[in-house]
Amino acid sequence: MVDLLPEQTQRWQEVELIAREQFKRAGFKEIRTPLLEVTELFSRGIGEATDVVGKEMYTFSDRGNRSCTLRPEGTASVVRAALEHGLLNQGPQRLWYGGPMFRYERPQAGRQRQFHQIGVECFGINSTRADAEVIAIAWDLLKQLGLNGLVLELNSLGSLEDRRRYRNDLVVWLLDRFEQLDTDSQQRVQSNPLRILDSKNPQTQSILMEAPTLNNYLSEESLERFEVLQQSLETLEIPFKLNSRLVRGLDYYCHTAFEIKSEYLGAQSTVCGGGRYDGLVEQLGGPNTSGIGWAIGMERLIMLLGDVFSGSTTPDVYLVNQGKLAEIQALVVARKLRALGLIVELDSSGSSFGKQFKRANRCGAFWAIVIGDDEAKGEVLTLKKLHSNEDSTTSNELKVSASDLDGLFALLVS
């Protein structure tokens, strides 16, 4: 779990701002759910056979002896909240969320135990138009943030029925080659065979080259859906690559599965993962409702952004002040200028004017306001332009009345 220091939070805020704006324009509304849920939500909503539930959750008993879990992802909580508050009876819902998620994984570059996601969920639209829209939102957001070298990988998982037939054949095929599989994959043959397809083990991967592919098991209807989605993406000029190994190994995932990867991220290359999950709401006790969504990993996104955002919290004004009267006057002035919207850094060191000026110059502010006891008594402020190219210092100085802060403000922003 990592701390984010001021230099980093600056960049996070800028990314969050752009994402918020994008969601707003697309008609997505924010939902905030608790970080802690009862464990059963995730074991039912993500599935016991997954790595996330099987190995990665932070689970504990609370003082009332209930099993609680720090959320490892956002979708299950969003569905729970939408059900609990009757949102799903109010027509299609377009929701977004953001915040920390917790998974007990092996920490490495791009993989943490507390990480952050932003994500969208769209409920109640069965047509592939929602799939295309949701993918476009992710793609455009990443593009708007200035990312290049992105690849959208796309697959269809078909319907539950398609996948059942495929799963049966795949298990038979895998059992024939059981000894050659890595131990992790061996354990999954019965519990979650589809997930073996995206095993990272090289030997398993090479064996799988010959495995039956899901695409050959898609029904007419599923194939047509997949075709329509591809056409929509072409119309939207969003490039994609088909990847028949791309799976979300859960029963309620269906049809669309996609990931956006970056060629610059190394091993942890997926920035965004998503798909259609028409069976999830029902699985969690609600009415049959279609759903599609994605989640972006913020840490990986920020890593990719590199120095795209420099971010500025440079003060507009540095307030140099010394003396008993001056110090209180400086507090008053700082407060008023802040209320007018300026970024004001108040020197509270009480050190010499010289030292304070050094700091003022270093912080990059355009103006310094100087208040000594003489100024305070005379109800005036000295305004001094910092970083000025002009030689004469006096020409950069100006006395203004301390009572006319609106006039001062006008000067400062001019």
Classify each residue of 351-389 as buried b or exposed e, where b means 16 or more C-beta atoms within 10 Å of its C-beta: eeeeebbebbeeeebebbbbbbeebbeeebbbbbebeee
Minimal distance in Å, beta carbon 60 to ligand ATP? 19
201 versus 382: smaller Cβ distance to ligand ATP: 201
Minimal distance in Å, beta carbon 288 to ligand ATP? 24
User: Which of 297, 347, 376, 402 is close enough to bind ligand ATP by CB under 6 A?
Assistant: 297
165 near ligand ATP, rule: CB under 6 A: no
295 near ligand ATP, rule: CB under 6 A: yes
In sequence order, the 6+-apart residues with CB closer than 8 A to the CB of 364 are: 314, 315, 387
User: Which of 78, 300, 302, 376 is close enough to bind ligand ATP by CB under 6 A?
Assistant: 300
Binding residues for ligand ATP, rule CB under 6 A, total: 17
3-state SS of 252-285? CCEEEEEEEEECCCCCCCEEEEEEECCCHHHHCC
271 versus 280: smaller Cβ distance to ligand ATP: 271
CB closest to ligand ATP, residue no: 297
Return the range that interacts with ligand ATP (CB under 6 A); candidates 37-45, 293-301, 322-330, 340-348. Answer: 293-301
Cα distances from 342 to residues 360, 365, 408, 409, in angstroms, run: 16, 11, 12, 9
Minimal distance in Å, beta carbon 31 to ligand ATP? 17
Tokens of residue 12, six digits: 């996070």
For tokens 């990312």, the residue is 147
50 versus 356: smaller Cβ distance to ligand ATP: 50
Minimal distance in Å, beta carbon 246 to ligand ATP? 10
In sequence order, the 6+-apart residues with CB closer than 8 A to the CB of 286 are: 79, 82, 83, 88
250 near ligand ATP, rule: CB under 6 A: no
DSSP string, 40-104: HHHHHHT-TTSHHHHH--EEEE-TTS-EEEE-S-SHHHHHHHHHHTTGGGSS-EEEEEEEEEE--
Element (H, E) at 134: helix 128-144
Minimal distance in Å, beta carbon 323 to ligand ATP? 52
291 near ligand ATP, rule: CB under 6 A: no
14 versus 73: smaller Cβ distance to ligand ATP: 73
277 versus 367: smaller Cβ distance to ligand ATP: 277
Minimal distance in Å, beta carbon 117 to ligand ATP? 5
201 near ligand ATP, rule: CB under 6 A: no
In sequence order, the 6+-apart residues with CB closer than 8 A to the CB of 119 are: 74, 75, 96, 97, 98, 274, 293, 294, 295, 296
Return the range that interacts with ligand ATP (CB under 6 A); candidates 169-177, 212-220, 297-305, 344-352. Answer: 297-305
Return the range that interacts with ligand ATP (CB under 6 A); candidates 132-140, 159-167, 221-229, 269-277. Answer: 269-277
Query: β-strand 367-371 against 380-385: which pairing, if any?
Result: antiparallel
9 near ligand ATP, rule: CB under 6 A: no
81-140: contacts with ligand ATP (CB under 6 A):
103, 105, 110-112, 115, 117
Minimal distance in Å, beta carbon 349 to ligand ATP? 40
User: Which of 47, 124, 273, 279 is close enough to bind ligand ATP by CB under 6 A?
Assistant: 273
**What is the radius of gyration, based on Cα positions, of the chain?**
28
Strand, helix or coil for residue 154: strand
Q: Name the residues that contact ligand ATP, by CB under 6 A.
A: 73, 103, 105, 110-112, 115, 117, 268, 270-273, 295, 297, 299-300
